[in-house]
Amino acid sequence: MAKFKDAQMVADPLGLIQEVPTRWNSAFQMMERILQTNGALSIALLGTAKPPAPFSAEEIGVLEEFCSLLRPFEKATKLISGGKYPTMSLVIPIVSKMQIQLFSYKHSFKSIEAILAFSFLSDRFNDRFGYYETRTVPRMATLIDPRFKKQGFQRTNNADQAYRALEDELHNVFKNLAQEPSTSAPIAPTPPNPTSSYFTNFQLKISSKTMTTRSDAIILLRQHVESGNDGCCVQTTCSPSRS
């Protein structure tokens, strides 16, 4: 270990990371650390009596492909583990982003190990993550989040179902609010307008057109979905409480 740290020739040398079976990302971190320090590791091994063989170029190539395959999962783990910001609305967009990144590597792997790992992950991906778009809480959260709205979903029909469910939820909220006794001060009478009597028929039509709680919900939700994202952007840094 002393030779390994000396070979790095930096003020704050890195140590190796050992995989922990109960934490999948520790395997990724172990392989990534080997790639970061492989030069110094080879020097240390060559200067040690009866050492294990340094990694071959072929083995380093396999590790590089594994890290490319697992890096999106590592990023997703950190984003979803934040302890200082809400994460529920991130679940569906993160799953969508992971799938896009995963399948972008489909034809880039050369080693049989990475090809087999890709095949296993792609086969299991939908079984593990596909159902989040059909769950009420994460899809409501994604739709409400101004960074994502309907665009955060992979499937349009799931976004439409979430939209209708949120509309029903807003309708129920407005309905309950309308049934609560009012505690506000009485509204002052409108001062007389000399021209008001001339447009009495129009005013009667307007006053007879009452807004329902359903229409309130539709209007509010439509304004939210069709507006901009208010300058928000996807958070790329976090303070993870766990990994």
pLDDT for 171: 83
Q: Tens digit of pLDDT for each residue in 144-181?
A: 888 888 888 888 888 888 888 888 888 888 888 777 76
Q: Pick the range with the lowest mean pLDDT from 86-100, 156-170, 189-203.
A: 189-203
The size of the chain, in residues, is 243
Domain residue spans of the chain: 80-177+214-226
When pLDDT is cut at 50, 70 and 90, the band that residue 110 belongs to is very high
Residue 37 CB coordination number (10 Å): 20
pLDDT for 184: 55
CA distance 100 to 113: 21
Which tokens hold the place of 38?
């492989």
- Which residues does 121 contact at the CB level (< 8 Å), separation at least 6? 69, 102
Q: Tens digit of pLDDT for each residue in 29-65?
A: 999 999 999 999 999 998 888 888 899 999 999 999 9
Residue 111 above 90 pLDDT?
A: yes
Q: Which of 15-19, 223-227, 233-237 has the highest mean pLDDT?
A: 15-19
CA distance 180 to 136: 27
> Which pTM value belongs to this model?
0.69
Residue 117 above 50 pLDDT?
A: yes
pLDDT for 28: 95
Average pLDDT over residues 5-12: 91
Residue 187 above 70 pLDDT?
A: no
Residue type, 236: T
Which tokens hold the place of 160?
């439409």
Q: Which of 44-53, 61-70, 194-203, 206-215 has the highest mean pLDDT?
A: 61-70
